[in-house]
Amino acid sequence: MNRPRLGDALCADPAGTVGFFLCRAGQHLRAAAIEGPRAEARLLLGQAMGVAPDALLRDIRAAVPPEAAARFTDLLKRRLDGEPMAHLLGHRGFWTLDLAVSPATLIPRPDSETLIEAALDAFPDRQASLRVLDLGTGTGALLLAVLAEYPRGFGIGVDLVPEAAALARANAARNRLADRAAFLAGDWAAAIRGRFDLVLSNPPYIESGAIPALMPEVARFEPASALDGGPDGLDAYRRLAAVLPELLMPSGWAILELGAGQEDAVAALAHAAGLEPGPARADLGGIARALALQAPP
Protein backbone atom coordinates (compact mmCIF):
# COMPACT_ATOMS: atom_id res chain seq x y z
CA MET A 1 0.00 0.00 0.00
CA ASN A 2 1.39 3.41 -0.97
CA ARG A 3 1.82 5.92 1.81
CA PRO A 4 0.62 9.48 1.10
CA ARG A 5 3.37 11.96 0.43
CA LEU A 6 4.03 14.59 3.07
CA GLY A 7 2.74 17.34 0.76
CA ASP A 8 -0.53 15.43 0.23
CA ALA A 9 -0.93 14.94 3.98
CA LEU A 10 -0.38 18.63 4.69
CA CYS A 11 -3.08 19.60 2.20
CA ALA A 12 -5.60 17.61 4.24
CA ASP A 13 -4.98 19.65 7.40
CA PRO A 14 -7.59 22.11 8.67
CA ALA A 15 -7.45 25.77 7.64
CA GLY A 16 -5.28 27.92 9.88
CA THR A 17 -2.85 25.16 10.85
CA VAL A 18 0.85 24.83 10.10
CA GLY A 19 0.11 22.06 7.60
CA PHE A 20 -2.50 24.13 5.81
CA PHE A 21 -0.19 27.11 5.35
CA LEU A 22 2.73 24.94 4.24
CA CYS A 23 0.56 23.14 1.69
CA ARG A 24 -0.92 26.28 0.16
CA ALA A 25 2.44 28.07 0.09
CA GLY A 26 4.11 25.08 -1.54
CA GLN A 27 1.46 25.05 -4.25
CA HIS A 28 1.94 28.76 -5.01
CA LEU A 29 5.73 28.49 -5.03
CA ARG A 30 5.64 25.44 -7.30
CA ALA A 31 3.30 27.23 -9.71
CA ALA A 32 5.79 30.11 -9.81
CA ALA A 33 8.56 27.64 -10.80
CA ILE A 34 10.56 28.35 -7.65
CA GLU A 35 12.97 25.53 -6.83
CA GLY A 36 12.43 23.60 -3.60
CA PRO A 37 8.93 24.92 -2.92
CA ARG A 38 8.34 22.83 0.22
CA ALA A 39 11.65 23.83 1.77
CA GLU A 40 11.02 27.47 0.93
CA ALA A 41 7.54 27.30 2.44
CA ARG A 42 9.05 26.03 5.70
CA LEU A 43 11.65 28.80 5.69
CA LEU A 44 9.00 31.47 5.22
CA LEU A 45 6.60 30.11 7.81
CA GLY A 46 9.43 29.56 10.27
CA GLN A 47 10.50 33.17 9.78
CA ALA A 48 6.95 34.40 10.31
CA MET A 49 6.47 32.33 13.47
CA GLY A 50 9.98 32.81 14.85
CA VAL A 51 10.80 29.10 14.97
CA ALA A 52 13.26 26.81 13.22
CA PRO A 53 11.81 25.56 9.90
CA ASP A 54 12.28 21.87 10.78
CA ALA A 55 10.45 22.38 14.07
CA LEU A 56 7.25 23.12 12.16
CA LEU A 57 6.90 19.48 11.14
CA ARG A 58 6.74 18.28 14.74
CA ASP A 59 3.13 19.46 15.00
CA ILE A 60 1.66 20.27 11.62
CA ARG A 61 -1.83 20.62 13.13
CA ALA A 62 -0.76 23.44 15.45
CA ALA A 63 -2.63 26.70 14.89
CA VAL A 64 -0.74 29.58 13.32
CA PRO A 65 -1.39 32.80 15.31
CA PRO A 66 -3.15 35.52 13.27
CA GLU A 67 -0.21 37.94 13.45
CA ALA A 68 2.16 35.22 12.24
CA ALA A 69 -0.26 34.33 9.45
CA ALA A 70 -0.27 37.96 8.31
CA ARG A 71 3.55 38.09 8.34
CA PHE A 72 3.67 34.84 6.41
CA THR A 73 1.24 36.09 3.77
CA ASP A 74 3.37 39.20 3.24
CA LEU A 75 6.60 37.17 3.01
CA LEU A 76 5.02 34.74 0.54
CA LYS A 77 3.77 37.56 -1.70
CA ARG A 78 7.23 39.11 -1.74
CA ARG A 79 8.87 35.77 -2.57
CA LEU A 80 6.39 35.14 -5.38
CA ASP A 81 7.27 38.61 -6.70
CA GLY A 82 10.88 37.42 -7.01
CA GLU A 83 12.45 38.96 -3.91
CA PRO A 84 15.44 36.83 -2.84
CA MET A 85 14.91 34.50 0.08
CA ALA A 86 18.01 35.91 1.79
CA HIS A 87 16.41 39.37 1.87
CA LEU A 88 13.25 37.93 3.39
CA LEU A 89 15.19 36.05 6.07
CA GLY A 90 17.67 38.89 6.60
CA HIS A 91 20.77 36.69 6.57
CA ARG A 92 22.74 34.15 4.55
CA GLY A 93 25.35 31.53 5.40
CA PHE A 94 28.78 31.84 3.77
CA TRP A 95 31.79 29.62 4.50
CA THR A 96 31.67 29.27 8.31
CA LEU A 97 29.85 32.58 8.83
CA ASP A 98 26.31 33.82 9.24
CA LEU A 99 26.00 37.18 7.49
CA ALA A 100 23.29 39.81 7.58
CA VAL A 101 22.26 40.91 4.09
CA SER A 102 20.47 43.91 2.64
CA PRO A 103 19.49 45.36 -0.75
CA ALA A 104 22.64 47.53 -0.55
CA THR A 105 24.91 44.55 -1.30
CA LEU A 106 25.16 41.40 -3.35
CA ILE A 107 23.95 38.30 -1.57
CA PRO A 108 26.97 36.04 -0.86
CA ARG A 109 26.93 32.91 -2.99
CA PRO A 110 28.62 29.52 -2.68
CA ASP A 111 30.55 30.19 -5.91
CA SER A 112 32.51 32.91 -4.09
CA GLU A 113 33.73 30.41 -1.51
CA THR A 114 36.13 29.28 -4.26
CA LEU A 115 38.15 32.44 -3.51
CA ILE A 116 38.56 31.35 0.11
CA GLU A 117 39.81 27.95 -1.02
CA ALA A 118 42.33 29.69 -3.30
CA ALA A 119 43.51 31.88 -0.41
CA LEU A 120 44.07 28.82 1.76
CA ASP A 121 46.19 27.31 -1.01
CA ALA A 122 48.23 30.51 -1.38
CA PHE A 123 48.91 30.79 2.36
CA PRO A 124 49.06 27.28 3.89
CA ASP A 125 50.33 28.58 7.27
CA ARG A 126 47.14 29.33 9.21
CA GLN A 127 49.17 31.20 11.84
CA ALA A 128 50.46 33.72 9.32
CA SER A 129 49.94 37.36 10.33
CA LEU A 130 48.30 38.28 7.06
CA ARG A 131 47.40 41.81 6.04
CA VAL A 132 44.28 41.46 3.89
CA LEU A 133 42.40 43.94 1.70
CA ASP A 134 38.93 43.33 0.27
CA LEU A 135 37.94 45.71 -2.55
CA GLY A 136 34.19 45.99 -3.01
CA THR A 137 33.56 44.22 0.27
CA GLY A 138 29.74 44.19 0.23
CA THR A 139 28.63 42.14 3.22
CA GLY A 140 32.28 41.60 4.19
CA ALA A 141 31.96 37.93 3.23
CA LEU A 142 35.38 37.39 1.63
CA LEU A 143 37.41 39.32 4.18
CA LEU A 144 35.64 37.87 7.22
CA ALA A 145 35.83 34.30 5.91
CA VAL A 146 39.60 34.65 5.44
CA LEU A 147 40.07 36.21 8.88
CA ALA A 148 38.10 33.34 10.41
CA GLU A 149 40.74 30.97 9.00
CA TYR A 150 43.77 33.07 10.01
CA PRO A 151 43.43 34.03 13.68
CA ARG A 152 46.47 36.34 13.51
CA GLY A 153 45.33 38.14 10.39
CA PHE A 154 43.98 41.69 10.08
CA GLY A 155 42.01 43.15 7.22
CA ILE A 156 40.39 46.18 5.67
CA GLY A 157 37.27 46.12 3.54
CA VAL A 158 36.36 48.99 1.20
CA ASP A 159 33.05 49.62 -0.53
CA LEU A 160 31.82 52.58 -2.52
CA VAL A 161 28.39 52.31 -0.85
CA PRO A 162 28.37 53.58 2.77
CA GLU A 163 25.45 51.28 3.66
CA ALA A 164 27.48 48.30 2.51
CA ALA A 165 30.49 49.28 4.61
CA ALA A 166 28.21 49.69 7.63
CA LEU A 167 26.64 46.27 7.03
CA ALA A 168 30.07 44.63 6.73
CA ARG A 169 31.10 46.29 10.00
CA ALA A 170 28.01 44.85 11.68
CA ASN A 171 28.77 41.42 10.23
CA ALA A 172 32.27 41.55 11.69
CA ALA A 173 30.72 42.10 15.12
CA ARG A 174 28.09 39.42 14.45
CA ASN A 175 30.86 36.89 13.80
CA ARG A 176 33.20 38.09 16.58
CA LEU A 177 35.81 39.42 14.17
CA ALA A 178 35.39 43.16 14.77
CA ASP A 179 38.75 43.47 16.56
CA ARG A 180 40.60 42.34 13.43
CA ALA A 181 38.59 44.02 10.67
CA ALA A 182 38.01 47.62 9.63
CA PHE A 183 35.61 48.83 6.94
CA LEU A 184 35.72 52.03 4.91
CA ALA A 185 33.40 53.70 2.44
CA GLY A 186 35.51 54.85 -0.49
CA ASP A 187 36.41 54.47 -4.14
CA TRP A 188 38.36 51.21 -3.87
CA ALA A 189 42.10 51.78 -3.64
CA ALA A 190 41.77 55.59 -3.59
CA ALA A 191 40.99 55.24 0.12
CA ILE A 192 43.97 52.98 0.88
CA ARG A 193 47.65 53.48 1.62
CA GLY A 194 50.08 50.64 2.29
CA ARG A 195 50.64 47.14 0.98
CA PHE A 196 48.96 43.84 1.72
CA ASP A 197 49.83 40.16 1.66
CA LEU A 198 46.45 39.30 0.14
CA VAL A 199 43.98 41.36 -1.87
CA LEU A 200 40.53 39.91 -2.53
CA SER A 201 37.83 41.21 -4.84
CA ASN A 202 34.51 40.09 -6.26
CA PRO A 203 34.10 42.98 -8.72
CA PRO A 204 31.14 43.70 -10.99
CA TYR A 205 31.68 41.53 -14.05
CA ILE A 206 28.36 41.15 -15.87
CA GLU A 207 28.22 42.70 -19.34
CA SER A 208 25.89 45.71 -19.20
CA GLY A 209 23.65 44.36 -21.96
CA ALA A 210 23.23 41.01 -20.21
CA ILE A 211 21.87 42.35 -16.92
CA PRO A 212 18.20 42.52 -17.97
CA ALA A 213 18.35 38.82 -18.90
CA LEU A 214 19.56 37.73 -15.45
CA MET A 215 17.25 35.92 -13.08
CA PRO A 216 14.61 38.45 -11.90
CA GLU A 217 15.64 38.12 -8.27
CA VAL A 218 19.13 39.28 -9.28
CA ALA A 219 18.31 41.86 -11.93
CA ARG A 220 15.50 43.50 -9.92
CA PHE A 221 16.65 43.19 -6.34
CA GLU A 222 20.46 43.29 -6.24
CA PRO A 223 22.42 46.54 -6.74
CA ALA A 224 23.31 47.26 -10.36
CA SER A 225 26.57 48.87 -9.27
CA ALA A 226 27.74 45.48 -7.97
CA LEU A 227 26.76 43.69 -11.19
CA ASP A 228 27.56 45.99 -14.12
CA GLY A 229 31.05 45.38 -15.48
CA GLY A 230 30.66 47.60 -18.53
CA PRO A 231 30.08 46.68 -22.18
CA ASP A 232 32.47 43.71 -22.11
CA GLY A 233 32.29 42.95 -18.38
CA LEU A 234 35.96 43.83 -17.86
CA ASP A 235 35.86 47.47 -16.70
CA ALA A 236 36.49 46.63 -13.04
CA TYR A 237 39.35 44.27 -13.90
CA ARG A 238 41.09 47.04 -15.84
CA ARG A 239 40.91 49.25 -12.76
CA LEU A 240 42.15 46.44 -10.55
CA ALA A 241 45.09 45.65 -12.83
CA ALA A 242 46.15 49.30 -12.61
CA VAL A 243 46.20 49.44 -8.79
CA LEU A 244 47.10 45.93 -7.63
CA PRO A 245 50.87 46.26 -8.21
CA GLU A 246 50.94 49.17 -5.74
CA LEU A 247 48.79 47.37 -3.18
CA LEU A 248 50.58 44.03 -2.97
CA MET A 249 53.61 43.14 -0.90
CA PRO A 250 56.47 41.50 -2.83
CA SER A 251 55.30 37.97 -3.70
CA GLY A 252 51.85 38.86 -2.36
CA TRP A 253 48.68 37.45 -3.88
CA ALA A 254 45.52 38.94 -5.35
CA ILE A 255 42.54 36.63 -5.80
CA LEU A 256 39.74 37.83 -8.06
CA GLU A 257 36.33 36.35 -8.75
CA LEU A 258 35.61 35.74 -12.44
CA GLY A 259 32.51 35.50 -14.54
CA ALA A 260 32.10 32.58 -16.92
CA GLY A 261 34.60 32.70 -19.77
CA GLN A 262 36.64 35.62 -18.41
CA GLU A 263 39.79 33.78 -17.29
CA ASP A 264 41.98 34.48 -20.33
CA ALA A 265 41.04 38.15 -20.65
CA VAL A 266 41.59 38.91 -16.96
CA ALA A 267 44.85 36.94 -16.87
CA ALA A 268 46.10 38.98 -19.85
CA LEU A 269 45.26 42.27 -18.10
CA ALA A 270 47.05 41.13 -14.95
CA HIS A 271 50.11 39.88 -16.84
CA ALA A 272 50.42 43.20 -18.68
CA ALA A 273 50.44 44.93 -15.27
CA GLY A 274 53.35 42.79 -14.07
CA LEU A 275 51.44 40.17 -12.09
CA GLU A 276 51.82 36.43 -12.64
CA PRO A 277 48.50 34.61 -13.12
CA GLY A 278 48.12 31.04 -11.96
CA PRO A 279 45.52 28.56 -13.19
CA ALA A 280 42.01 29.63 -12.22
CA ARG A 281 40.23 27.56 -9.60
CA ALA A 282 36.87 26.15 -10.69
CA ASP A 283 33.71 26.32 -8.62
CA LEU A 284 31.44 23.32 -8.03
CA GLY A 285 29.78 23.96 -11.37
CA GLY A 286 33.10 23.63 -13.20
CA ILE A 287 33.34 27.35 -14.06
CA ALA A 288 36.74 29.03 -13.67
CA ARG A 289 35.79 31.26 -10.73
CA ALA A 290 38.89 32.34 -8.72
CA LEU A 291 42.00 33.70 -10.41
CA ALA A 292 45.12 34.00 -8.23
CA LEU A 293 47.70 36.60 -9.27
CA GLN A 294 51.13 36.89 -7.66
CA ALA A 295 53.24 40.02 -7.39
CA PRO A 296 56.93 39.78 -8.29
CA PRO A 297 59.39 39.08 -5.44
**159 annotated ligand-binding residue:** yes
**95 annotated ligand-binding residue:** no
**188 annotated ligand-binding residue:** yes
**202 annotated ligand-binding residue:** yes
**204 annotated ligand-binding residue:** yes
**36 annotated ligand-binding residue:** no
**171 annotated ligand-binding residue:** no
**139 annotated ligand-binding residue:** yes
3-class SS letters over the chain: CCCCCHHHHHHCCCCCEHHHHHHHHHHHHHHCCCCCHHHHHHHHHHHHHCCCHHHHHHCCCCECCHHHHHHHHHHHHHHHCCCCHHHHHCEEEECCEEEECCCCCCCCCHHHHHHHHHHHHHCCCCCCCCEEEEECCCCCHHHHHHHHHCCCCEEEEEECCHHHHHHHHHHHHHCCCHHHEEEEECCHHHHCCCCEEEEEECCCCECHHHHHHCCHHHHCCCCHHHCECCCCCCHHHHHHHHHHHHHEEEEEEEEEECCCCCHHHHHHHHHHCCCEECCCEECCCCCEEEEEEECCC
**150 annotated ligand-binding residue:** no
**138 annotated ligand-binding residue:** yes
**26 annotated ligand-binding residue:** no
Q: Which residues partner with 184 through β-bridges?
A: 158
Q: Output the known binding site.
A: 136-140, 159, 188, 202-205
Q: Output the known binding site for substrate.
A: 202-205
Q: Output the known binding site for S-adenosyl-L-methionine.
A: 136-140, 159, 188, 202
